[in-house]
Structure 1
Amino acid sequence: MPEALRLVVFDVDGTLVDSRAHIVEAMEDAFTGLGIAPPTRAAVLHGVGLSLPELMAQLVPDQPLHIQAALADGYKSASFARHVAGGDGAKAIFFPGIRDVLDQLRADDFTLMATATGMSRRGLDRIIEQHGLEGYFQSTQVADTHPSKPHPSMLFAALGDTGVVPRNAVMIGDTSYDMMMAKAAGTHAIGVTWGNHPPEYLADADVIVDTTDELMTALATWIEDLA
């Protein structure tokens, strides 16, 4: 029998790119713009991965919905302004070894790739263009058109786009929301420790890795187990 296709789905912020400083600074801009004390860095990073309405509800649960919505809009505006101010030279920064991981997986004829990210379509498209990743991902799922993680909608859409069954798919992410989403969709889950949540928050992962070398080893083991 021919080898079955498999799908590797990546979170983006905190898994592929290190956007922590940008996120925290844009969040501070949004809050100070409305005269509200900004949340701590730890609180902001703990919520990375959620869609903006859910993140704001988590950061300021006592604020009315219209203020939470205004903060979400303020964050989007501040984030875009910071990107524009950075100019063409302000690229999203890959975590060490990530580009090599993407290149190795792309070279495998039986491996497809996708994204499932809490960022916007505009933000993801910017990263793909900056790093010449056109054609790397067969499905790109973003927060604009899905419920927030950990709802499995993004994974279901990626599976539908590629025709891969859940057993033959793996979600790679840095937060508990990614791991819970994977379990809800019936896929394998690999947690990475270089992002926004510490290892103890990744308890739902099938495997937790500390480096991209360990990630490639974990993927090779998963592929062997599928045979």
Structure 2
Amino acid sequence: MTKVPMGLAVFDLDGTLIDSQQGIVAPMRAAFEDLDLDPPDPSAIRSVIGLPLDTAIQKINPYVRGLLTERLVESYKDHAYAMQTHVGPDPLIPGALSALDRLAEAGVLLAIATGKGRLGLVNVLEAHGITGRFVSLQCADNAPGKPDPTMLLQAMDEADVGQSATAMIGDTTFDLEMAHNAGVAGIGVTWGYHDIALLLSIQPDAVIHHFDELDGALNEKFGLSMGSTI
């Protein structure tokens, strides 16, 4: 008998599952320096994490356009790859792996929706040995950037799960706006790159402060028999 999924939990990557701050901020500053541009403030970089790379760069510096944007994108990718090669992958957020295990055991399907390109996404997941946990990997290479709902709509289609049984979990307003645009529940996490006031401004279905609290946030959504703590 085919097991009926209890729901679909779609996770953002950077700032939600992965603590990628240093793996993004340092390469971005280095890319600007390569092109003799003033390196952006780390807070400005953190504020755009989750957006497509070209969009993020243009939000950091509105004067950057066209070929200059393309050169910054390529320089950023080179620095990010070099950093991952020499320093190693960005770490998982504490509690992330256990949360994924509990959801999978409860019958919830898992997916990723990220502004990263596919190569960067797969490299991170493979480094942590978790690629096979996800039924759908949505990224900048196969869908418009957040908050466009396409990534969520494609993930639901691949998982064969409807809107009422899907939740988006992310650390930025871009994630929550995407959830709203796709007609699914949005759960904000406060350990990432947008503060709680920004998250609450989007009126999410729930906001959690640690992965231990995710079970409780999803219990009502999916009707699971899961504890609220590990």
TM-score by length of 1: 0.93
Q: Distance in 2 between matches of 1:140 and 1:117?
A: 8
1:31-70 residue CA offsets vs partner (Å, 9 max, x unmatched): 0000000111110000000001111110111123221221
- The offset of 1:5, in angstroms, is 3.7
- Contact preservation (8 Å) 1:6, 1:169: yes
* 1:151 aligned residue (127, 130, 148): 148
Runs of 4+, deviation exceeding 2 Å? 2-5
SS of structure 2 residue aligned to 1:114:
strand
Matched positions, count: 220
SS of structure 2 residue aligned to 1:79:
helix
Q: Which residue of 2 aligns with 1:91?
A: 89
Q: Distance in 2 between matches of 1:127 and 1:183?
A: 27
Q: Which residue of 2 aligns with 1:33?
A: 34
- Contact preservation (8 Å) 2:11, 2:113: yes
- Contact preservation (8 Å) 1:5, 1:164: no
The two structures, once aligned, show a CA RMSD in angstroms of: 1.5
Q: Distance in 1 between matches of 2:82 and 2:187?
A: 33
Q: Which residue of 2 aligns with 1:116?
A: 113
The answer to whether 1:56 aligns with 2:75 is no
- The offset of 1:221, in angstroms, is 2.3
- The offset of 1:91, in angstroms, is 3.0
Gaps of 5+ in 1: none
The answer to whether 1:172 aligns with 2:169 is yes
Residues 142/221 of structure 1: CA separation in 2 closer, same or farther (3 Å cut): same
Q: Distance in 2 between matches of 1:180 and 1:78?
A: 30
Gaps of 5+ in 2: 225-230
- The offset of 1:76, in angstroms, is 0.9
- Contact preservation (8 Å) 1:60, 1:68: no
TM alignment of 1:102-141, pairs within 5 A: 102-109=100-107, 111-141=108-138
* Identical-pair percentage: 37
Q: Which residue of 1 aligns with 2:68?
A: 67
Q: Distance in 2 between matches of 1:175 and 1:209?
A: 13
